Amino acid sequence: MPDEATLQSYKDLAAQLRADSIRCTTAAGSGHPTSGMSAADFLAVLAIKYLKYDFQNPKMPNNDHLLFSKGHACPVLYALYKAVGAISDAELLTLRQFDSKLEGHPTPEIPYVDAATGSLGQGLPIGVGIAMAGKYIDKLPYKTWIVCGDSEMAEGSMYEALEIAAHYELNNLVAIVDVNKLGQRGETQLGHDMAAYKARFEAFGWHAIVVDGHDVAALDAAFAEAMTADKPVGILAKTDKGHGVSFTSGLPGWHGKAMKPEEAEKALIELGSPKGDIVITVQKPEDLHPAALSPNTDFVAPSYPLGEKYSARQAYGDALKALGASRGDIFANDSEVSNSTFSETFKKAYPDRFFEMYIAEQVMVSVAQGIEARGYTVFCSTFAAFFARAFDQIRMGAVSRATLH
Amino acid sequence: MALEDLAMMRSVHGSTVLYPSDAVSTVHLVKAMAETKGISYLRATREKVPTLYGADETFPIGGSKTLRSSDSDVATIIGAGITLHEALKAADTLAGEGTNVRVIDLYSVKPIDWAAIVSAVQDTKHIIVVEDHWAQGGLGDAVASILADANVPMVKFTHLCITEMPRSGTPQELLEKYGIDAHAIVAAVKAGI
């Protein structure tokens, strides 16, 4: 059990995160303050005690990764960036301005953001890719923390991510679900039925922890448990949307709505008028480097005599294998049709660099994006028609300025 | 088999869309993809087809290959993948009858080889695009967007593509049924003369 001073530091930071979410959205005249207010307590505990990230060096290979799958709640993420000293209060207040890098949804324009999120159901699958890179390619101990919304637990892609994370035994991945009960227009399918969320995560092979998302001592214990689990962990935090302010807490009608200045003033008083000057020092990770890749060599193209018959898909497999021989950073994903796409030619040569994604095209593309975010090159293959299934992932990949094949 | 994929992938910001017609070009383009930033997509055909290119050919992204051409081409046939082989058959049939046509392998659908298409327009006055894709968003639309440019001369344009919901059958039966085989191409060339 953490001491009183630590618990108080969590509460003080959470109050500041809520206040700053309100301040920056009120300054912008738009945005989502209440979707972040529900998340403030667990973010405070995470940042003060468990996150390992060098904000002076976001490219450090062994940094943890923190993704907001519920990208619309980014005002609280930006408030956290302020609280760790990564951005100034003045910059926080540029939220949604035309020339600000703090857009209405986070993008990798911000150096601490791995992927553009906001199209729901994508942050967790991309995080699965980052965690796979951490465990199987980088072979580094960093953790991947994903803040998920409860509304997005209705997206099929979230369940593709849950099953792949369990299949690949990603004990370096923690999803924190902000179960604040309210979606955009009203209550979510499951409301505050925490037992139902727990049953789902456990059914998919995750370690699930149900916790009061506003009890910092309980949250601290939940994170401690997550650090030592041997499976991917779902911290299912029961929260109130707009928590901390009487006229928003748990109340509908506040989604995506900035407070008017007079409302914000009242809200800040209710939050104890936080001074806004807390700057915490996030733990730095150990300075470790990714595992070495196979050395690069010259590309040797397979040859095909003129006039003889081959299929392009067969040549795809041959080319991928040749690329794999010449570049150690080449990986391949396939959604369980590798004997048709011929990516199995690569798989047979480089089994450790091939990730079977089963018939789950959305997570296949997102995992590729997550692995690419760690600096590797991934080719995805399936039947052309089935890529349509993952079109939103591909579209958002372009928003992330990601490289995908 | 997909009939929407080229449209979908062309519409993505900054994307690269490739559709090779033989094994040699496929290998070159897969390697090029690995060196390309952004979203890149390659459509690889299931059918076995004859190798068209020697090992020393190059396939820059944004390029094309002109496989048949003469000073007296009456039309240009643009295809990629399986339809390129139908275009070559059609060109050979027509050549046997004394009619010359140009054939372009449009392996790079996006970015597209603007210069090759503009010179085909200037030289041949009839552009025929043949593709295994719906009418919207594929090779035909990519070429038509060049023809619509104010600086490109007016030209006859024929788009052979899939226009009705397909069914099962052998590849050759399907190419014939949906009007994208060599016979359909020969007929389109003759209709333009």
Give the whole-angstrom CA distance, residue B37 versus residue B128: 32
pLDDT of amino acid B152: 86
Least confident of A354-358, B27-31, B146-150: B146-150
Interface check A404 vs B, CB under 8 A: yes
The average pLDDT across A17-27 equals: 97
Residue that finishes a domain, picked among A270, A294, A323: A270
- Write the Ramachandran bin of A361: left for phi over 0, alpha for psi from -120 to 50, otherwise beta: alpha
| pLDDT at A199 exceeding the cut of 80 | yes
| pLDDT at A1 exceeding the cut of 90 | no
Give the whole-angstrom CA distance, residue A271 versus residue A184: 24
B21 phi and psi angles, rounded to 5 deg: -115, -5
Q: Is residue A298 part of a domain?
A: no
pLDDT of amino acid A238: 98
Q: Which domain holds residue A95?
A: 4-270
Q: Is A361 a catalytic residue?
A: yes
pLDDT of amino acid A328: 97
Tens digits of per-residue pLDDT, A317-347? 999 999 999 999 999 999 999 999 999 999 9
Tens digits of per-residue pLDDT, A273-332? 999 999 999 999 999 999 999 999 999 999 999 999 999 999 999 999 999 999 999 999
| pLDDT at A181 exceeding the cut of 90 | yes
Q: Count the Cβ atoms, other than its own, within 10 Å of residue A287.
A: 10
| pLDDT at A404 exceeding the cut of 90 | no
As a whole number, the mean pLDDT across chain A is: 97
C-alpha angle A168-A172-A175 in degrees, rounded to nearest 5: 95
Contact B143, B118 (CB under 8 A): no
**A401 confidence band (pLDDT: 50, 70, 90):** confident
| pLDDT at B184 exceeding the cut of 80 | yes
Strand intervals (E) in A213-323: 233-238, 309-311
Taking CB atoms and an 8 Å cutoff, what residues of chain A touch B45? 311-313
Residue A220 shares a structural domain with residue A74:
yes
The whole-model pTM stands at 0.96
Residue A59 shares a structural domain with residue A172:
yes
3-state secondary structure (DSSP) of residue B6: helix
Residue A261 shares a structural domain with residue A142:
yes
Give the whole-angstrom CA distance, residue B45 versus residue B27: 13
Residue that finishes a domain, picked among A213, A247, A270: A270
Residue A220 shares a structural domain with residue A321:
no
Give the whole-angstrom CA distance, residue A26 versus residue A96: 11
Task: Give the chain B residue whose CA is nearest to the CA of A379.
Answer: B34
**B76 confidence band (pLDDT: 50, 70, 90):** very high
Subunit contact B4:A327, Cβ cutoff 8 A: no
Residue A13 shares a structural domain with residue A146:
yes
| Alpha-carbon distances, residue B77 vs A349, B67, B188 (angstroms) | 40, 10, 10
Residue A91 shares a structural domain with residue A214:
yes
Compare CB distances from B27 to A306, A319, A388 and report the shortest one's residue: A319
pLDDT of amino acid B151: 87
> Nearest CA to A280 among A14, A62, A24, A33?
A14
The average pLDDT across A244-261 equals: 96
Give the whole-angstrom CA distance, residue A85 versus residue A74: 17
- Sorted by sequence, the CB contacts under 8 Å of residue B149 that are 6+ apart come out as none
Tokens matching residue A103: 């857009």
Tens digits of per-residue pLDDT, B128-171? 999 999 999 999 999 999 999 878 888 999 999 999 999 999 99
Give the whole-angstrom CA distance, residue A138 versus residue A130: 10
Per CATH, is B5-192 categorized as 3.90.1150.10? no
**A71 confidence band (pLDDT: 50, 70, 90):** very high
Subunit contact B2:A387, Cβ cutoff 8 A: yes
Tens digits of per-residue pLDDT, A233-243? 999 999 999 99
* Nearest-neighbour CA in chain A from B150: distance (Å): 30
| Domain map (residue ranges) of chain B | 5-192
| Alpha-carbon distances, residue A259 vs A12, A149, A306, B163 (angstroms) | 22, 21, 70, 53
Give the whole-angstrom CA distance, residue B170 versus residue B175: 9
Please state the domain count of chain A. Answer: 2
Give the whole-angstrom CA distance, residue B107 versus residue B78: 10
Give the whole-angstrom CA distance, residue A341 versus residue B82: 16
**A403 confidence band (pLDDT: 50, 70, 90):** confident
Q: Is residue A117 part of a domain?
A: yes
Upstream peptide bond of B20 is cis (omega within 30 degrees of 0): no
| Alpha-carbon distances, residue A269 vs A213, A274, B180 (angstroms) | 22, 8, 72
> Nearest CA to A68 among A129, A134, A179, A148?
A148
> Nearest CA to B52 among B81, B16, B18?
B81
* Nearest-neighbour CA in chain B from A227: distance (Å): 35
Give the whole-angstrom CA distance, residue A220 versus residue A208: 15
| pLDDT at A201 exceeding the cut of 80 | yes
Tens digits of per-residue pLDDT, B104-126? 999 999 999 999 999 999 999 89
Q: Is residue A278 part of a domain?
A: no
Buried b / exposed e across A319-358, counting CB within 10 Å, b at 16+? Answer: bbbbbbbbbbbbbbbbbeebeebbbbbbbeebeebbbbbe
Mutation target among A387, A393, A399 for the B interface, most CBs of B within 10 A: A387
pLDDT of amino acid B153: 87
Q: Which of A152, A155, A344, A361 is catalytic?
A: A361
Query: What's the CATH number where A345 sits?
Result: 3.40.50.970
**A402 confidence band (pLDDT: 50, 70, 90):** confident
Q: Is residue A358 part of a domain?
A: yes
